[in-house]
Structure 1
């Protein structure tokens, strides 16, 4: 392969200004991450610990292998909503007994671990990741069930959690439930539908209806332990496969279960010897300008994330607004598509289509690095077939069967977001830098379009156009689009899997490529009709 040569001026004013802006945005993201890490807050965490219990993240830390990384997913779920940041559940990928697993842990310090609409969406996203990538699922259960005031948004779609667990099992993907406390009503079916179940003596309580509801429904007098305690389920009902003496013992048993799965990855193994990039990851802070209208060279990003900074560029002289080429990342082969100057023209669209076909022929995963304002508009470009060429690229992305990973670096607007494999196109993973923005178009452009339409409508009616009102409307729209296109807003709605520090990009993408390789990687030769 050919080693990239960096031309980034790390001593320049532009780099320093961009880095300062990125650090400020990182500070904002980290403060929101801190809210998720705090769970229900100091009062409820202290109460939880006073009961002799570990927090959700402490349980995960003891479950995963020592010094192994844990890739937390969707930590900002519910940001900007009426619910606490994090959605009362922690999900992510961690290595347990040498096997990569998808871990879902209820956070009982947040409203007793009850499930609100965002908890549901986050859990369903986790299940999708497990099924697509053939990752064993470990549920660390302690939940009060549905958040009753929002049951209308949770009950009907919530059945998908049960469906997903049974489909995972049917697909031969192991499901394991470690029950740390209450698992009531619908939550009782989590252990009920898991392949392996561990309960803790005098701690786990699993029943469809608690003693008060049983008394109301049947008149029967009972208590927690006799109705759904761990010992009863281990000795009488048979729901518990293992009876642990405490939380640490339950986690030990869980690790033992994974060790006995005899789990094997179905995808390719990475290259054994891997060389790091030749350039410092710290430089990634200063590559994306504060003003996203200013273009940047994505090769500078590629040079700092791929092995040995080696990159074989495909069609470097054709469609130069899109950089495409082959590399390895943590020993895994990958094809990269990266926006260079924002706009996608016909040439870029055709180039991307061919490149995606080649990646499918060679069973190579694709990494999309977003910084696009969309497909080019205007009479000349319409006459040149912009629509059919953009559609060709979207057709290729839609029907490609090799795994896709997307990282939003800068702008990701309009149909360019679709062509570069946005969330609606089901990339296996999608992350955003703090500098990223995503919307139908930029705020100023959208406000301008509405202004032009309003002016034309006023003229058609023979009315005077109110310039002052128009200026106010434009400012309001720009502010709205600005607020709704930033990463934390989009991450809060689970449109990405997390806002990451640019310096962690290589590690995050590497962990995703490793997780992807748990399943077979197979391309396709079947695409929709390409309009030529």
Structure 2
């Protein structure tokens, strides 16, 4: 059916919600600007003065003109000692009509050296390439590992090279364009790629530079004879193509992708997808800043799905979870959206059945999070909330259709798991600036600690210090509040980006298109259990 909206855009509550979200978007934009700024004006100017392009400029030349680009994990390393963006750009872009995963080092940030968050971001991009069968294009200019943080990089960093070879073994092409240094471990990126382009008098690929060679062997060697592009094209054979400059190298990269003759193995979208009936701008006023205040997720769905059409499944049963069928940019989806936060037994059983139905029809699933978790209390425990919640989590865990999650409000406790949080391997996971995610809300967690401390004092026969209790509760509540914010979680790599709510439909369309590159893995181990 076509959804009807009851959103009052003239109400004070709507204006308050919108104002609060716009403030969060302004803070988000400020952090994105830091990522775009790379190493800062001084190092950007130095890079340009050397006649070199910035990573996003290279990407802009690589992708098809006026094609969509989905940048991922832009806030990686936010809240850490490392620069926002983690000195690498990752994105899904269209190259010669082929959706590709693009990974571009930012040499304006410590010469493109990799820190622990660079590694996390890069490995996540490679996971996305593997899961969705996206050709991988590396735009390399990196001095290798940041030696000051080598203890956090060396051991897990080996997975980077393993994953490159496994992509190739799975038939997913890997292409590397080398724009400058690709040193030490970084030398294995072109070494393990299917196709390699280097640039005369620019690219330098070696396991050890002249100083280390001198220290290790006593040999004197200049950079060009040791690892220059001409040497690798004419002597070692590491370079497959030799370009005169960056623009020509990028053109060669585009031609390599064109020569792949890549085709998607999934279903094509419906060509007649209709726009939603309601303005995406109104998404800014739906979610209250206080997530304890309920809101109807159907208002979000009506502004995201094709034609605002949502065929709801079991609308009268388990009303705290809305489930139903829709399409986004012509791609069919099954949607699970938390309506009133708490998941009861009925909602859990309804979700499990719906997920199994989606697997029967091979329909991707979209999870819209706003949950405080599964209901607790004597009556609910006796009524089987554990086993019913386990049904939902089991269904999510064993579902084989693509999952996409968007955190729009709260995402607490095991409800985060049941709604396909990061640990349950959704193909993509994004958050709105309004979202929060933690074991539980800060007030609840602080209250639990207070109750435990009171009980401990009573058992020991000690008087309880109320003033200290209040101080501790405030500190804990503030800590949990800070740690549950979307930019903090995005900085740690727990999502693929914090997005403007108005971009949700576009982001989902790009993700649904990307997942169709991979073959259908087939149904899971179960049929449909009537709950």
Q: Which category describes the TM-score, using the shorter chain as reference length? A: over 0.9
Structure 2 residue aligned with 1:356: 355
Structure 1 residue 525, shift from structure 2 partner: 3.8
Structure 2 residue aligned with 1:256: 255
Note if contact 1:41-1:109 (Cα within 8 Å) is conserved in structure 2.
Answer: yes
Matches within 5 A, 1:297-308: 297-308=296-307
Matches within 5 A, 1:73-472: 73-472=72-471
The CA distance in 1 between the partners of 2:430 and 2:133, in whole Å, is: 20
- Deviations 1:466-504, CA, capped at 9 Å, x for gaps: 000000000000000000000010000010100000000
Report SS of the residue matched to 2:153.
helix
Structure 1 residue 274, shift from structure 2 partner: 1.5
Structure 1 residue 521, shift from structure 2 partner: 2.8
Report SS of the residue matched to 1:104.
strand
The CA distance in 1 between the partners of 2:294 and 2:522, in whole Å, is: 32
**2:478 is the counterpart of 1:495:** no
Note if contact 2:142-2:180 (Cα within 8 Å) is conserved in structure 1.
Answer: yes
Structure 2 residue aligned with 1:485: 484
Note if contact 1:395-1:527 (Cα within 8 Å) is conserved in structure 2.
Answer: no
Structure 1 residue 160, shift from structure 2 partner: 0.3
TM-score w.r.t. length of structure 1: 0.99
Note if contact 1:332-1:513 (Cα within 8 Å) is conserved in structure 2.
Answer: yes
Report SS of the residue matched to 1:431.
strand
Report SS of the residue matched to 2:176.
strand
- Deviations 1:228-252, CA, capped at 9 Å, x for gaps: 1101111111100000000000000
Structure 1 residue 290, shift from structure 2 partner: 1.3
Report SS of the residue matched to 2:214.
helix
Note if contact 1:133-1:518 (Cα within 8 Å) is conserved in structure 2.
Answer: yes
Assess, with a 3 A threshold, how the Cα gap between structure 1 residues 21 and 347 changes in structure 2: closer, same or farther: same
Note if contact 2:353-2:529 (Cα within 8 Å) is conserved in structure 1.
Answer: no
TM-score w.r.t. length of structure 2: 0.99
Note if contact 1:372-1:416 (Cα within 8 Å) is conserved in structure 2.
Answer: yes
Note if contact 2:233-2:241 (Cα within 8 Å) is conserved in structure 1.
Answer: yes
Structure 1 residue 353, shift from structure 2 partner: 0.2
Report SS of the residue matched to 1:95.
strand
- Deviations 1:274-333, CA, capped at 9 Å, x for gaps: 211000000000000111001100000000000011110000000000000000100000
The CA distance in 2 between the partners of 1:471 and 1:196, in whole Å, is: 62
Note if contact 1:432-1:500 (Cα within 8 Å) is conserved in structure 2.
Answer: yes
Structure 1 residue 522, shift from structure 2 partner: 3.8
Report SS of the residue matched to 1:77.
coil
Unaligned stretches of 5+ residues in structure 2: none
The CA distance in 1 between the partners of 2:155 and 2:485, in whole Å, is: 31
- Deviations 1:146-203, CA, capped at 9 Å, x for gaps: 0001111101110000000000000000000000000011000000000000000000
Note if contact 1:432-1:498 (Cα within 8 Å) is conserved in structure 2.
Answer: yes
The CA distance in 2 between the partners of 1:359 and 1:68, in whole Å, is: 31
The CA distance in 2 between the partners of 1:468 and 1:530, in whole Å, is: 53
Note if contact 1:298-1:339 (Cα within 8 Å) is conserved in structure 2.
Answer: yes
- Deviations 1:378-424, CA, capped at 9 Å, x for gaps: 11111110000000000000110101000000000000000000001
Structure 1 residue 520, shift from structure 2 partner: 1.6
**2:24 is the counterpart of 1:25:** yes
Structure 1 residue 221, shift from structure 2 partner: 1.4
Runs of 4+ in 1 over 2 A off after TM superposition: 521-525, 527-532
Note if contact 2:400-2:524 (Cα within 8 Å) is conserved in structure 1.
Answer: no
Note if contact 2:142-2:183 (Cα within 8 Å) is conserved in structure 1.
Answer: yes
Note if contact 1:279-1:304 (Cα within 8 Å) is conserved in structure 2.
Answer: yes
Note if contact 2:450-2:473 (Cα within 8 Å) is conserved in structure 1.
Answer: yes
Give me the CA root mean square deviation.
1.2
- Deviations 1:417-461, CA, capped at 9 Å, x for gaps: 000000010100000000000000000000000000100100000
